[in-house]
């Protein structure tokens, strides 16, 4: 029998006794204050309702036009897929792939996998292939960027309003509602509760006990007890031994004490992002051709245009998302990698919070990519004016993806390993 509900923190690896969390409350790690559990009332039921609504909204959002541009009686409208198609036709296929994956494919995959898991559970049946569906959901979740797309659309509308009459489409309002509904579905979807309903046994990985006499606040880590946490489903199981890789008995994800080659991969992604950050800000991100001549705009010149046109708030948002955030992500991750590599014991909690902030803001750097996508798709008036994506847009998209990969590769538990070594020497 299991005497205590044991939880391992995914950020600092501390073992703790869990408790029942009331609806609306949050259980946090005693050491690094990471969120361990959130109290939900009828979580799967609410998640199913939100997911079914998301399916309907996704269809509307991808079938109807997002926005139109009217000039001298000529109306140019575009759908999200149409915008991707225009980028592909202009030879910007890497950018088209990035936009299509993050705004169409991943949100659809996330919604369908949640529906696949939750609908049978509503009728007290185990879904077919739950392991594959759950892994696909975990894979798609970080890459669906509907909320960033909405902000990008608003910035594009401000710029387009200075060119011609803007005609909002049905999909624009649908996307705004979809952003809210998808966020609510993701917040209501509790992997632990979903797995507990799918499995008869509460912990198929084996019985886990905290050593007798150990206080709940004692700094005992999962690694020190020969345990490892599955980051996909949250199951705490015995750590893999030897060179043979072990799979999670519940979701079949690969188990590891720490992310393999975490610092090496983080540095590789960071160095590549740093190299590409220069052309992303120096080369033109957009090429505009009109009756008045040709113009090449960089990211910074786009910020200046918004500022001088009176859209100060949007100018600040674009500057933060497209210039400041990528630079801060690179500097922040470099600081974390260097301090961890030298086994620094300085302010581990604060460094862990820096890592969480980098994870939170990383996706917002995609803002300028979505603005460019809308402008390229709509400003296609042949002899009057056309806009094409410049070479900097591909470099900037690569910077965003590389910094996201760098953040995913870094293991925050390494920050606390130096602290654990100090405790071992003290004993």
- pLDDT tens digits along 373-393: 888 888 766 556 678 888 999
- Dihedral (Cα; 52, 57, 62, 63), 10-degree rounding: 100
Q: Which has the closest alpha carbon to 9: 33, 45, 26?
A: 33
For residues 251 and 231, give the distance between their C-alpha atoms in angstroms, rounded to a whole number.
10
pLDDT at 25: 77
- Residue-wise pLDDT for 213-263, tens only, equals 444 444 588 888 888 888 777 788 876 665 456 788 888 888 888 888 999
Q: What is the mean pLDDT of residues 24-50?
A: 82
- Dihedral (Cα; 88, 94, 98, 100), 10-degree rounding: 20
pLDDT at 350: 92
Q: What is the mean pLDDT of residues 330-358?
A: 92
Here the tokens at position 236 are 């705490």
Q: What is the mean pLDDT of residues 320-344?
A: 92
Overall fold of domain 261-427: Butyryl-CoA Dehydrogenase, subunit A; domain 3 (1.20.140)
Which of these ranges, 152-156, 210-214, 298-302, 397-401, has the smallest mean pLDDT? 210-214
Q: What is this structure's pTM?
A: 0.85
**Residue found under tokens 């051709």:** 289
**Structural domain spans, the chain:** 261-427
pLDDT at 129: 85
Q: What is the mean pLDDT of residues 150-157?
A: 87
- Residue-wise pLDDT for 175-211, tens only, equals 999 999 998 898 888 887 788 777 643 344 444 444 4
């Amino acid at each position: 029998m299991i005497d205590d509900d044991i939880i391992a923190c995914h950020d600092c690896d501390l073992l703790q006794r869990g408790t029942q969390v009331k609806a609306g409350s949050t259980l946090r790690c005693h050491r690094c204050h990471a969120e361990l559990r959130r109290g939900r009332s009828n979580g799967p039921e609410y998640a199913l309702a939100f997911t079914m609504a998301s399916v309907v909204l996704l269809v509307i959002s991808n079938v109807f036009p997002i926005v139109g541009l009217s000039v001298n009686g000529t109306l140019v409208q575009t759908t999200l897929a149409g915008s991707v198609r225009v980028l592909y036709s202009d030879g910007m296929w890497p950018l088209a792939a990035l936009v299509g994956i993050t705004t169409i494919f991943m949100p659809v995959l996330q919604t369908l996998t949640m529906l696949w898991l939750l609908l049978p559970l509503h009728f007290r049946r185990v879904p077919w292939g739950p392991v594959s569906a759950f892994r696909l959901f975990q894979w798609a979740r970080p890459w669906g960027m509907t909320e960033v797309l909405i902000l990008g659309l608003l910035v594009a509308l401000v710029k387009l309003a200075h060119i011609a009459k803007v005609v909002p489409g049905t999909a624009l309002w649908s996307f705004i509602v979809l952003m809210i509904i998808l966020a609510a579905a993701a917040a209501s979807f509790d992997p632990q509760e979903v797995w507990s309903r799918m499995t008869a046994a509460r912990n198929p990985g084996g019985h886990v006990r905290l050593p007798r006499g150990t206080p709940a606040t004692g700094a005992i880590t999962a690694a020190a007890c020969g345990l490892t946490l599955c980051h996909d489903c949250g199951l705490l199981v015995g750590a893999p031994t030897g060179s043979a890789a072990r799979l999670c008995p519940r979701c079949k994800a690969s188990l590891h004490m720490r992310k393999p080659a975490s610092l090496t991969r983080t540095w590789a992604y960071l160095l590549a992002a740093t190299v590409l950050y220069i052309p992303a800000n120096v080369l033109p991100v957009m090429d505009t051709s009109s009756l008045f001549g040709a113009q090449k705009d960089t990211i910074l010149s786009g910020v200046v245009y918004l500022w001088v046109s009176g859209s100060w708030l949007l100018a600040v948002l674009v500057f933060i998302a497209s210039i400041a955030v990528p630079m801060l992500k690179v500097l922040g991750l470099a600081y974390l990698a260097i301090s961890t590599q030298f086994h620094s014991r300085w302010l581990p909690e604060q460094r862990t919070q820096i890592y969480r902030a980098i994870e939170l803001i990383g996706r917002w750097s995609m803002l300028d990519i979505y603005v460019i996508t809308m402008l390229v798709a709509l400003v296609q008036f042949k002899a009057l004016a056309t806009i094409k994506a410049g070479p900097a847009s591909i470099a900037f998209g690569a910077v965003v993806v590389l910094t996201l990969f760098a953040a995913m590769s870094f293991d925050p538990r390494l920050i606390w390993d130096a602290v654990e070594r100090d405790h071992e020497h003290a004993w």
